[in-house]
């Protein structure tokens, strides 16, 4: 079993857990993800690795409570076990050397951006990180990000911290200032990664995005995570999850991600109702 050894509430809807998983911790690299089940009857969901500690044998996962399974995961406490934890999955991120890289983090994408920026800075790259969120309460891991970045820039949609606007506004200013940028890495909501990719396209700046396609087995067998990249069908779980953002068919991916939206909303509503009824009985 995979025991939760620490848990933090990073915001009202974002939580961080550290889980005992020695073999995964030893093998985890930037770009990897895990698939977990909360309980025997639960669904399998993919979550990116935010950090790994081989010495302690733990992996750190940050997630947002947006659906039934992530809400169930959020109810787990320190000392409790997860039913399954499979990984590390996905292709290891190729780490360049001696480049000037801008990492763009949106929402819970901050966690995998940290893991990636840490590896890239250790390889001698200059790291500028742009962190964005809807408001200041949703920003987290600023200290971690600052420890692996040469420069950190912030933005919030409502202007409560950093620049009033989106991460793309900050990135555009950076590009137009004439600062040399060899590569942009973006991890966050699909709409954000698409906007970043469209912004960098006319400048010819190589841009990498980390996709969160619908996924079941994580080994390329189910085909649920199909995505079209440069006109070719790829499986996010084994060919990714990171791809050249200028080659991803984001419109198709958005439609595929919305395929089960009604089912997801129903499942989440029934879970909330059951939880409320249980709390009322107590």
Q: Which of 174, 180, 268, 256 is nearest to 223 (CA)?
A: 256
pLDDT, one tens digit per residue, over 184-213 is: 999 999 999 999 999 999 999 999 999 988
| Helix (H) / strand (E) containing 244 | strand 242-244
192 and 140 within one domain: yes
The H or E element that residue 113 is part of is helix 110-122
pLDDT band at 268 (very low <50, low <70, confident <90, very high): confident
Whether the predicted model's global pTM rises above the 0.85 cut: yes
- pLDDT tens readout for residues 140-155: 999 999 999 999 999 9
* pLDDT-derived band at 282, boundaries 50, 70, 90: low
Let me know if residue 114 belongs to a domain.
yes
What pLDDT is recorded for position 214?
A: 86
Q: Percent of the chain at pLDDT above 90?
A: 80
Mean pLDDT of 116-136: 95
User: How much is the pLDDT for 121?
Assistant: 96
Provide the domain limits for residue 58.
2-89
Strand partners, 19: 4, 59
Averaged pLDDT for residues 213-217: 85
Using the predicted structure, report yes or no on whether residue 65 has a pLDDT greater than 80.
Answer: yes
**Which of 67, 89, 111 is where one domain is finished?**
89
Run of H or E residues at 52? strand 51-53
Query: Could you give the CA distance from residue 240 to residue 257 in angstroms, rounded to a whole number?
Result: 16
CATH number at residue 201: 3.40.50.80
Amino acid 272: pLDDT: 82
Q: Which of 26, 55, 89 is the last residue of a domain?
A: 89
Please check whether residue 264 lies inside any domain of the structure.
no
The CB-side HSE value for 176 (13 A sphere, CA atoms) comes to 7
Whether residue 80 sits in one domain with residue 128? no
Mean pLDDT value across the chain: 93
Q: Which residues contact 244 (CB under 8 A, 6 or more apart)?
A: 206, 207, 208, 229, 230
In a domain, 162, yes or no: yes
Q: What are phi and psi of 184, to 5 degrees?
A: -120, 130
For the chain, how many structural domains are there in total?
2
Is 226 within 8 Å of 233 (Cβ atoms)? yes
């Amino acid at each position: 079993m995979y025991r939760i050894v620490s848990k933090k509430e990073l915001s009202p809807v974002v939580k961080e857990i550290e889980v005992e998983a020695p073999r995964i911790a030893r093998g985890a690299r930037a770009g990897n993800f895990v698939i977990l089940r909360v309980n025997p009857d639960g669904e399998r969901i993919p979550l990116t690795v935010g950090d790994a500690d081989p010495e302690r044998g733990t992996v750190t996962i940050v997630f947002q409570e947006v659906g039934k399974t992530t809400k169930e995961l959020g109810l787990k406490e320190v000392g409790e076990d997860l039913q399954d934890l499979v990984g590390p999955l996905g292709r290891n991120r190729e780490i360049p050397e001696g480049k000037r890289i801008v990492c763009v983090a949106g929402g819970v994408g901050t966690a995998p951006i940290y893991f990636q920026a840490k590896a890239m800075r250790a390889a001698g790259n200059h790291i500028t990180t742009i962190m964005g969120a809807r408001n200041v309460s949703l920003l987290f891991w600023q200290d971690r990000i600052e420890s692996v970045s040469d420069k950190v820039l912030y933005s919030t949609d409502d202007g409560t911290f950093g620049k009033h606007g989106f991460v793309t506004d900050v990135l555009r200013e950076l590009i137009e200032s004439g600062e040399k940028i060899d590569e942009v890495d973006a991890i966050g909501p699909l709409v954000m990664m698409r906007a970043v990719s469209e912004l960098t396209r006319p400048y010819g700046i190589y841009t990498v995005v980390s996709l969160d396609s619908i996924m079941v087995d994580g080994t390329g067998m189910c085909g649920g995570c199909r995505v079209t990249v440069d006109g070719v069908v790829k499986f996010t779980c084994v060919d990714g999850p990171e791809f050249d953002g200028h080659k991803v068919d984001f419109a198709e991916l958005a439609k595929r991600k919305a395929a089960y939206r009604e089912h997801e909303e129903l499942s989440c509503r029934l879970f909330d109702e059951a939880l409320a009824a249980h709390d009322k009985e107590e």
